[in-house]
Chain A
Amino acid sequence: MDIIVSKDLKKKFKLKHGQRVNNNGVISNEIVVLDGFDLKIKKGEFLVLVGPSGSGKSVFLDIVGGLSTPTSGVVYLDDKIVEAPSAKTGYVFQQYALFPWRTALSNIEFGLESRGVPPEERVKTARELLALFGLSDFEDRFPYQLSGGMQQRVAIARALATKPEVLLMDEPFAALDAQTREILQNELIRIWEGTDTTVIFVTHSIDEAVFLADRVAVVTARPGKIKDIIEIDLPRPRDGDIRSRCEFATNRHKVWDALKAEVNKAQQDWKLAPAFAS
């Protein structure tokens, strides 16, 4: 069963006055980020989006999250058109986006407050989640007192607090160092495998994509649409050791094969860009 269906999605942005962009040879002051973006996401699956920079992956997440409206086309969430942020989605950002004036615990409570959950219950849920991420001793810390990895754990816990059916993750580990990144991937997969949450995960790391995903959707260079969907046939539950297996490399190669041309195309775009800068 599909929980999210995107149909002929298109998103245009107007550039600032005087700015120009080359859309496949046509010079315009509108930038088309998504065009004909069709994707069906199954309930409970871990779907990873990869694609060159500027291919609209984050924009797609924003539309699914109800934070941005498409220029045309629709996204259905549980057969209903997404028009505003839904209680069914949770969002994790690359920059953590924790509220610096709130402690770890009260950051996690934020979404529950909006839903009118009573205080005792909020604290209970938040403590359970902190424990799940091994951060029980840090509940009274402010974000500035936490390392990047800890902050992102809190941010994931915050998104999970409202028990979303769909978790949107926009390059959540991109700002972390390589070791912390692997540890958090392991933690995420461990926690996710114990739930039936659907995850849409954006990344630029093919290794990360292959390690986490049930399916990897490769997005074309701008304007973005789905080029290819690659089933990752690695067994679950997965742990860190799987990265050194032969099948991992095979899957990695498949994704890279699909992605390579698009990345090159995006690079060409950038090379052309200065010519239109004036």
Chain B
Amino acid sequence: MSEELVATVGTAVKPRSFDFSGFLKQFEQLFDGLNKWSHGIPLVLIFFAVWEALPRFGLIDPLFLPTFSTTIKTLFELTFSGKLLLHVLVSLQRALFGFGLAVLVAVPLGFLMGWYSKFERYTDLLMQGLRNTSTFALLPIFLLLLGLGESSKVAIIFYGASWQLLMNTISGVKSVDPIYIKAAKSMGVSDKDLFLKVILPASIPSIVIGARLAAKISLMVVIAAEMIGAKTGLGFFIQNAQFNFMVPEMYAGILALAILGLVINYLLVWFEKKATYWKGEAGSGIIG
């Protein structure tokens, strides 16, 4: 209320000057009642408009950059004919297997490394060495050792996704506030309960963030792996379209990938909120 009052007073004093913040406010009000993320829509629309305009007005050869409308049309056709769906599902499946395997291995390992400093001392050097070698550089090795089948793809995704999970689990365990451990011990907690009821829940926020990043990495790695050695999957689809000069299909594939990434990101953000429901946003719900 008071802000609006100030704004009106401000415009009354300087009636002719361009009131940028007032303009912004009006603009924001257009989206009142919608979710916060809707504020991002205009910029996306501008992006699509520029995309549409560049080839349409001949600034870029449409052969290399088909208009946005052509791309969308191709995407719809590919989606409804079911051609794209198979590739999307295959990529998702691979990413999910690799990611799931990473969760199963990296999280328990992270707990061990985070809790037992001796164990960490013996393992850290190897882990750091492996972690700091680009996953993509290792792709050929995985292909050589595991062949062109599913296992090499799942393995490389597992490898790529593991590090983030491992690091975040270790730091999650290490950054558990010692006062929680002290409090639990003062109440005579057993070692098992100390882990299950204190260490585990206290490190969840960090692990969930690790999982979010690992899921993104999984998606990135699966596409790259499919571009190098696969006959299915979204990565293969995009690469194949490029080799056969099916340019609109290639762009449609990339657009599908972008949408997929966006959906997964929002799912993960939602999951993160659910998993750390007890944290609350800073400043909310404080009484007295």
Residues in chain A near residue B201, CB distance under 8 A:
99, 101
Q: Looking at the complex, which one of B177, B188, B197, B285 makes contact with A144 (CB distance below 8 Å)?
A: B285
State which of B50-58, B72-80, B178-186, B241-249 sits at the interface with chain A.
B178-186
Q: Are B180 and A97 in contact (CB under 8 A)?
A: yes
Judging by beta carbons under 8 Å apart, are A111 and B187 in contact?
yes
What total count of A-B pairs have CB within 8 Å?
Answer: 78
Whether the pair A111, B288 counts as a contact (CB closer than 8 A) is: no
- Which of B184, B202, B285 is A145 in contact with, Cβ under 8 Å? B285
Number of chain B residues whose Cβ lies closer than 8 Å to a Cβ of chain A: 25
CB-CB contacts below 8 Å: B23-53 with A: none
Known contacts: A93-B183, A99-B180. The answer to whether A142 contacts B278 by CB under 8 A is yes
Q: A101-B202, A114-B190, A115-B188 are in contact. Are A144 and B183 (CB under 8 A)?
A: no
| Complex Cα gap A196–B251 (Å) | 77
| Interface residues on chain A, number (Cβ under 8 Å) | 32
Which residues of chain A come closer than 8 Å to B179, judged between CB atoms?
93, 95, 97
CA separation between A9 and B252, bound complex, in Å? 76
In the complex, whether B61 has a CB less than 8 A from a CB of chain A is: no
Cross-chain contact B185 with A85 (CB below 8 angstroms): yes
Cβ contact within 8 Å between B182 and A93: yes
B187 touches A114 (CB 8 A): yes
Give the residues in chain B near A145, CB-CB below 8 Å.
280, 285-287
Question: Which chain A residues lie closer than 8 Å to B180 at the CB level?
Answer: 97, 99
Q: Quick one: CB contact mask for B273-288 with A, threshold 8 Å, 1 for yes?
A: 0000011100001111
- In the docked arrangement, what's the CA distance between A67 and B201, Å? 22
Given contacts A101-B201, A144-B285, A145-B287, contact A67 B187 (CB under 8 A): no
Interface membership of A162, Cβ < 8 A: yes
Do A147 and B287 have beta carbons less than 8 Å apart?
yes
Q: A252 CB to closest chain B CB, in angstroms?
A: 30
Tell whether, in the assembled complex, residue B286 and residue A147 are in contact, meaning their CB atoms are under 8 Å apart.
yes
Whether a CB of chain A sits under 8 angstroms from the CB of B256 is no
Interface check B189, CB cutoff 8 A: yes
CB distance from A65 to the nearest CB of B (A): 5
Q: How far is the CA of A115 from the CA of B187 in the complex (A)?
A: 9
B183, B190, B287, B288: the one contacting A91 at CB < 8 Å is: B183
Residues of B within 8 A of A102 (CB): 278
Contact B187 A162 (CB under 8 A): yes
Knowing A97-B182, A114-B188 are in contact, say whether A144-B287 is a contact too (CB < 8 A).
Answer: no
Which of B177, B186, B190, B280 is most buried by chain A, counting CB atoms within 10 A of its CB? Answer: B186
| B19 interfacial contact with A, CB 8 Å | no
Instruction: State whether the Cβ of A6 lies closer than 8 Å to any Cβ in chain B.
Output: no
Q: Does A89 contact B (CB under 8 A)?
A: yes
Judging by beta carbons under 8 Å apart, are A67 and B182 in contact? yes
Closest to A107 in B: B183
Per-residue interface assignment for chain B, residues 127 to 161, with 1 indicating a CB less than 8 Å from any chain A CB and 0 otherwise: 00000000000000000000000000000000000
List of A residues within 8 angstroms of B184 by Cβ? 99, 110
Check A113 for interface membership: any CB of B closer than 8 A.
yes
Confirm or deny: B198 has a beta carbon within 8 angstroms of a beta carbon on chain A.
Answer: yes
Which residues 46-100 of A sit at the B interface, judged by CB distance below 8 A?
A: 65-67, 85-87, 89-91, 93, 95, 97, 99-100
**In the bound complex, what is the Cα–Cα distance between A89 and B183 (angstroms)?**
12
Residues of A within 8 A of B286 (CB): 144-145, 147
Report Cα–Cα, A4/B63, bound state, in Å. 88
Given contacts A67-B185, A101-B202, contact A144 B278 (CB under 8 A): yes
Most buried by B among A66, A90, A97, A115: A97
Docked-complex contact B198 and A99, CB < 8 angstroms:
yes
Q: A67-B182, A144-B286, A145-B286 are in contact. Are A100 and B278 (CB under 8 A)?
A: yes
Check if A149 is an interface residue, CB within 8 A of chain B: yes
For A111, the chain B residues whose CB sits under 8 A away are: 187-188
In the bound complex, do residue B182 and residue A100 qualify as a contact, i.e. CB atoms below 8 Å apart?
Answer: no
Judge if B124 is at the interface, Cβ distance under 8 Å.
no
Q: Give the residues in chain B near A65, CB-CB below 8 Å.
A: 186
| In the bound complex, CA of A142 to CA of B280 (Å) | 9
A188 within 8 A of B: no
Query: In the complex, which residues of chain B have a beta carbon less than 8 angstroms from the beta carbon of A147?
Result: 286-288
18 residue pairs of the A-B complex, CB under 8 angstroms, read A65-B186, A67-B185, A85-B185, A85-B188, A91-B187, A95-B179, A97-B177, A97-B183, A99-B198, A101-B201, A102-B278, A110-B187, A114-B188, A114-B193, A144-B278, A144-B285, A145-B280, A162-B188
| Other 7 A-B pairs with CB < 8 A, given A85-B185, A93-B179, A101-B202 | A67-B186, A85-B188, A95-B179, A97-B180, A99-B197, A144-B279, A162-B188
